[in-house]
Amino acid sequence: MSLHAAPRQVARRLLILVAGLWLVGAVSAAEPTETQRTAFKQAYAAAQQGGDGWRTAASTLQDYPLYPYLEATALTHDIRQIQRPQVEDYLKRYPGLLPAADLRRDFLTELARRQDWDTFLAMYQPGLGDALTCNALQAQLSKGAQLDFDRDLAALWSKPKLPSACDPVLSAAHDQGLLTEPRLWDRIDRAADAVQPGTINAIAGWLPADQADSARRIASALSDPGAAVVAANQWPDTSRNRQAATLALERLARRQSVTADIAWQKLQSHFAFTPEQRNRVMYALALFHATDYDADALSRLIALPASVQTDTSREWRVRAALAQQDWTAALAAIDAMPATQQQDGEWRWFRARALAATNRSAESQQVLTSLAQEPTFFGFLAADRIKVPYGICQIELKGNAQRERALLANQGLLRAFELYAVGLPKQARREWTQALDGADADTLKQAVDLAYRRGWYDRAVFTFNTGDALRYYEQRFPLASQDGLVPQAEQAGIDPSWAYAILRAESAWMADARSGADARGLMQLLPSTAALVAKRNGVTWTGGDSLYDPITNIILGTRYLAQMAARFNGAPWLASAAYNAGPGKVDQWLEARSSLPPDLFIATIPFKETREYVARVMSFAVIYDWRQHGNAVTLSQRLTPIGQTYTLPDSRSERKLVTCPVVAPPTPAEAGSAAPASSMAAPAAASSTH
């Protein structure tokens, strides 16, 4: 507030401020209590058993925002016994709510199981998923309806994989003559592009015998390329068999580049491959010889025709040169990239390295100076190389009382916050998404800030992911001391900043995260791994679901990190690679390229996911170090050379200042909500932010 404002204006602003504070207090006072939450948890546990037993525990919860979830949960449990009136009664009382939509979907699935098609059609609504779409078509077929391909099937047919509920409909479509050979082959081609051999085998039988054999060969090329390339020597030279052989060679190259090379030499004389097919095979062989770092990988990539090259092949040309520490070849490979690809931070870093190695120091310095202003893995490396502070420009997220009141009046968002508070994060995320669908940027910022203050940290990670929103470092890199990460990391003998970084990269603070490989919780541990770590460290182990408890997950996760670090001389960057790809893979890479400096070794990791993971974790460690201490141990200290023992940061470690080098006018979204970029101070220590 300006000191020069007129007295009446000052009084008016004070009245508004007081009124705003009163309203915020009123909203807060009206928020659900811990007593209600405890009662809900008890009632919810009862509702999960079905029946009406939950109603006793919920007798005081009729006005609680999550009350509708209780009845829906009980009805869902009893889905095989309930009837249409019970479901319609619920849908009438709670229209538009997510549990109502879920109940309708579950009941329709049950009606399809019962084959009660009259009730199904009476309650069906479009847009509930492919399975129910097919159930609806089956219901219509039961009434004697005829299918129309364009109206009923075209959208489904374009998908490479469909649920089993669609099988009767597809069979009916075939019997009605709708699945013509061109349509069958169109779907086979889509399935091949999506690597769905099961789909191809399922419909191959609807083709004439000779065509069915060709379709099954395409499926074989996808599922077992090694066997397919051997069998291909006996296949007739037809266009579809050439398609299958090409697919098999491409996929075998990914797994066994040398074996694929040998097979290619044989099959070239057997099939009259088209120029496009030859180029596809040559591309795959060149690329995967490069990922295997074969001696001729670089020359293969250079020899690829320009029309065949992609961003991926061009970057692997650089990586192959880096693996040989051939800086002249690396520079030539970077120069051969399109200008947009060259602007990637990784290639600017290695361009600077190559320029310095080829006696072009002034040009190298210019690249490094620009790169050092960026808060990324390669930006931090550049800052270390030219000995300047790290460039991190933070924006402080300011609250807005009026917008906060409006958000807390949004019943969907209130349900989202309550679901998170009672330990139902999956449902909370769904309510959040529905409540904020179409919200503007300022509303989203306020919602994220509300979530952050309630300890719901993953909302910031998933919302603040582009542009200037990346500068909300407090929200994007929370210091959640209540889960005990810092003391647990210290007890395990690892750097807390690194442990924070692993957690942030693994789960983005989603305590219920679960990967396709069954890794669970904040630090994404496999139950089998966690059980071994628990036994080794004398920690009580009660099964895989215990990994969804943040405290248990962090205890075991920090111990496993310490175990990985010990295996690799304490080096956090190698241990991070092992955490992602497995220690056995890292051992293989070390055996092949242990003479490389850390940045080159990381660049030559064959797995894209692991390369990016290591860079992300190590940059996050710098940011978390800064968030904790206001400055940071240099990234270079964390990247100890292979074979050298890593020493944990202590009072003698070199620490780097963090500044904001970019001075620019604020964007409209920032105006009035952030200090000038050049004057932003480093954040306070963790204890003052929570």
Q: What residues are labeled active site?
A: 506
Spatial CA neighbour of 521 closest among 479, 481, 564, 554: 554
Residue with tokens 């998923």: 129
* Helix (H/G/I), strand (E/B), else coil: 477: coil
Residue type, 681: A
Residue type, 515: S
Spatial CA neighbour of 452 closest among 424, 420, 483, 423: 420
User: Angle at CA 345, nearest 5°, toward 339 and 347?
Assistant: 60
| CA–CA dist 461, 453 (Å, integer) | 14
* Helix (H/G/I), strand (E/B), else coil: 409: coil
| CA–CA dist 587, 5 (Å, integer) | 68
CB distance 425 to 549 below 8 Å: no
| CA–CA dist 363, 71 (Å, integer) | 69
Per-residue tokens: 35: 């007593």
Determine phi and psi for 471, rounding to 5 degrees: -90, 5
* Helix (H/G/I), strand (E/B), else coil: 438: coil
| CA–CA dist 48, 42 (Å, integer) | 10
Residue with tokens 């928020």: 31
* Helix (H/G/I), strand (E/B), else coil: 399: coil
- Count of residues for the chain? 690
DSSP 623-665: HHHHHHHSSEE-HHHHSPPTTSPP----TTS-EE-EE-----P
